[in-house]
Amino acid sequence: MSATMPATNVASATRIPSKRTILMCRPDFFTVNYRINPWMHPEDPTDTSLAVRQWESLYRVYLDLGFDVKLVDPIDGLPDMVYAANGGFVLDNIAYGASFAYPERQPEGPAYMKWFAANGFDVRKPQSINEGEGDFLLVGDVILAGTGFRSATDSHRELFRIYGREVVSLELINPSFYHLDTAIAVLDPDPAEGEQANIAYLPSAFNGEGLAILAERFPDAILVNEEDAAVLGLNSFSDGYNVVIASRAKDFERQLRERGYNPIGVDLSELLLGGGGVKCCTLELRR
């Protein structure tokens, strides 16, 4: 893990951190014993104890930032449950449950919905295939919704019916970036009134229509290079000032610092073997 504070500058004074409430799951049963994305190679060994140590470093970063971190118990036989972001989408105290595309992960949906119900959320059982906050990102009052590999477009209509927020569909076209949160990072989760929330994204992950939408809505977005995206640098989590990212995403780190954010690098290389990074391990709980 590495954490570097930026030099004092005018831009950084405009970035205000906000306390976040998140849900995580320890990777006690993490391994790669099937292949449902290009990152996964079951023939290669994985180190569960290393995955736990790396996850604990991320957990400590969040605690040090003052986040309220909740934990859901891992379940033996569900190695991908560590990727909590896929477990649902939570907004306005309503938890829209996940319905996974692949059979190997389908039991995770009920497990997360059980946790949501036990912790006071209004749980909505999904009617359509969706993989939660992996494909649904709240940017200001708008929900960016990914499709193309995992979540069905029907789930975007469900989102609108449940939350009454504008939902903007974006088609992903690169199988290495099969969830929206691998191709877009939300940098300003709570923009000030009248200010535009900003994002960072990988242009090659989207089709032409999606690129036009992103360019129009986020003209000041950070464009991340292929090298940083390939270590899931965009799979990051921001409180509006501190942005927790993959420690190897050096150019993204530079760009964030230039914009007045405080990038904090963590090493989740073992969890990357399953196709997940910082954001994959982090589900935001919005009451």
User: Which residues are known catalytic residues?
Assistant: 179, 280
State how far the Cα of 155 lies from the Cα of 162, in Å rounded to an integer: 10
Nearest in space to 199 (alpha carbons), one of 247, 261, 153: 261
How far from each other are the two terminal CA atoms of the chain, in whole angstroms? 30
Our separate counts of H helices and E strands in the chain read 7, 16
The Cα 62–Cα 199 span in angstroms is: 20
Is-contact 52 229, C-beta < 8 A? Answer: no
**Is 196 buried (19+), middle (13-18) or exposed (0-12) by CB count in 10 A?**
middle
Task: Indicate the pairing of strand 88-91 with strand 94-97.
Answer: antiparallel
Beta strands (DSSP E) in 84-196 are 88-91, 94-97, 122-124, 136-139, 142-147, 166-171, 184-186
Instruction: Phi first, then psi: give them for residue 110, nearest 5 degrees.
Output: -60, -35
Contacts of 25 (CB under 8 A, 6+ apart): 71, 72, 73, 74, 81, 82, 83, 84, 87, 281
